[in-house]
Amino acid sequence: MAGAREVRKRIKSVENTKQLTRTMELVATSKLKRATDRVYAARPYAGALDEIVRSLYSAELAERFPVLRRPTEMKRAAVLLLTANRGQAGAFNANLIREARHRLEELRAAGAETELHVAGRKGIQFFRFRGEPMETMRTDIGDAPTSEDAESLIGPLRDKFESGALDAVYLVSSEFRSAMSTPPRVRELLPIQPGETAASVDVFIMSPPGDHILGRLLPLYLRNAVYTSLVENAAAEQGSRRTAMKNATDNASEMLEYLTRSYNRARQAQITQEIAEIVGGAAGLE
Amino acid sequence: MAEGTLRVHVVSPEKTVFEGEASALVAPAWDGMVGILPGHAPFLALVGVGALTVDLPGGGSETFQVAGGALKVLANKVTVLTEYAGSEPPEVIPVEAILHPEDVSVSAGNP
């Protein structure tokens, strides 16, 4: 058994680590709260926009708008990956990176050229290390993403898609189901495919005509899809970090308990030995 | 005028700006102001730039500056989606969200 002094040293070190992870847990918890509020605040707009686009969408219109164009063959596709700028968030970044690699491999296996766009320092570090070329690298998107961030990410890709230089754009990000469940997910951003048209087709008075409305709303729809993914991803990052740091804190507590026990035992052993020596010495004098 | 009130939602991408009952609503559409009263027919319009006024049922009103987006009226429910919403006019007008009347030839109906 290690001596009492060594054990004391280790206890001190584990205590320091525990304090650190506990602080990070608290910081993540408060950031998570704000990030979750943003996710919920973004939902009414996304829902309402989706509803309107769906009620306007029809197959004939699909041929008139470049963002709805369905390419006959997939020659070149882009993957846009959202990761975090910081680590210490459990498997959060690793999951996203793995998902993006799967998608890239699938596309290549299908004979398509691929291009990779990465936001977040962690994703960039990984692909740089692997020697995988990246078309764009962004690290300027923080904890509170804005619509402008979304536009700056998707704008160039939309232009490329409209000009025919790209046949599909996929977005890899985390879905924010709850703070505990944030699975990675791949969304097909382009071509835009609105969901099924609502069963009840209401007859609207439109101003301007429906195709003009759709023409203006589609870019907003696309940007909003990216925006909601950005806020969900930010919330998922904080959720994962909180979980990871909570586990680390719990592990440190467990370890402290064990170390304290060994320390007490070592101390007890030392005292017992000293008493035995005194008793022995006294006995020798008689 | 039909009885009842309008259920109004004004939402921007970041947040819900207004949610509640209203007796009337005046909004800047792409080609001019539109007024909505309870009992309005189903209506869908693009939103331009300007002041959106919501008249509250108990009297008084609330005004927001909006820019771009869409307005939908269905069964006394009004949803205003706008790219920008605030008490001050936007510093930068989201040009891509605004349709100018001269860009539309209504008779042809082509995009």
The complex's ipTM works out to 0.80
Contacts of B109 in chain A (CB under 8 A): 209, 211
Residue from B99, B102, B97 nearest B85 by CA: B97
| Number of Cβ within a 10 Å radius of residue A13 | 11
**Range B13-19, long-range pairs (CB < 8 A, 24+ positions):** B13/A42, B13/A45, B13/A46, B13/A147, B13/A224, B13/A227, B13/B83, B14/A38, B14/A41, B14/A42, B14/A146, B14/A147, B15/A41, B15/A42, B16/A41, B16/A44, B16/A45, B17/B64, B17/B82, B17/B85, B18/B54, B18/B62, B18/B64
Question: Which chain A residues in 117-146 lie under 8 Å from chain B, judged by CB atoms?
Answer: 146
Residue from A241, A176, A256, A251 nearest A26 by CA: A241
Tokens of A263: 């320390």
Query: How many whole angstroms separate alpha carbon A117 and alpha carbon A81?
Result: 6
* pLDDT tops 60 at residue B17: yes
Summarize pLDDT for A229-257 with one digit per residue, the tens.
999 999 999 999 999 999 999 999 999 99
Nearest Cβ partner for B44 among A213, A215, A219: A213
Q: Which chain B residue shows the shortest CA-CA distance from A38?
A: B14
* pLDDT tops 80 at residue A61: no
Q: Tell whether omega for the bond before B13 is within 30 degrees of 0, i.e. cis.
A: no
Q: How far is CA A164 from CA A61, A75, A167, A190, in A?
A: 18, 10, 7, 12
Backbone dihedral angles phi then psi of residue B64, each to the nearest 5 degrees: -130, 150
CATH number of A2-24+243-281: 1.10.287.80
B32-36 vs B43-46, strand pairing mode: unpaired
Summarize pLDDT for B26-61 with one digit per residue, the tens.
999 888 899 999 999 989 999 988 899 999 988 888
Residue A218: which pLDDT band, with cuts at 50, 70 and 90? confident
CB-count burial class (<10 Å; 0-12, 13-18, 19+) for B6: buried
Looking at chain A, the domain(s) classified CATH 3.40.1380.10 span 34-241
Lowest mean pLDDT among A21-35, A204-218, A256-270, B51-65: A204-218
pLDDT at A94: 93
Residue A57 near chain B (CB below 8 Å): no
HEC string of chain A?
Answer: CCCHHHHHHHHHHHHHHHHHHHHHHHHHHHHHHHHHHHHHHHHHHHHHHHHHHHHHCCHHHHCCCHHHCCCCCCCEEEEEEECCCCCCCCCHHHHHHHHHHHHHHHHHHCCCEEEEEEECHHHHHHHHHHCCCCCEEECCCCCCCCHHHHHHHHHHHHHHHHHCCCCEEEEEEECCCCCCCCCEEEEEEECCCCCCCCCCCCCCEEECCHHHHHHHHHHHHHHHHHHHHHHHHHHHHHHHHHHHHHHHHHHHHHHHHHHHHHHHHHHHHHHHHHHHHHHHHHHHHC
* pLDDT tops 60 at residue B79: yes
**What is the pLDDT averaged over residues A212-227?**
88
Summarize pLDDT for B66-78 with one digit per residue, the tens.
988 899 998 899 9
Contacts of B104 in chain A (CB under 8 A): 208-209, 212
Q: To which CATH superfamily is domain A34-241 assigned?
A: ATP synthase, F1 complex, gamma subunit (3.40.1380.10)
Q: Which chain B residue shows the shortest CA-CA distance from A148?
A: B94
Residue A64 near chain B (CB below 8 Å): yes
Amino acid identity for residue A60 in this structure: E
Looking at chain A, the domain(s) classified CATH 1.10.287.80 span 2-24+243-281
Q: What is the pTM of this model?
A: 0.85
Query: How many whole angstroms separate alpha carbon B52 and alpha carbon A12?
Result: 62
Alpha carbon of B65: minimum distance to chain A alpha carbons (Å): 17
Contact yes or no for B111 and A49 at CB 8 A? no
Alpha carbon of A124: minimum distance to chain B alpha carbons (Å): 28
Query: How many whole angstroms separate alpha carbon A10 and alpha carbon A13?
Result: 5
Question: Which chain B residues in 22-81 lie under 8 Å from chain A, judged by CB atoms?
Answer: 29-31, 34, 41-46, 68-70, 72, 74, 79, 81
Contact yes or no for B41 and A205 at CB 8 A? yes
Contacts of B34 in chain A (CB under 8 A): 207
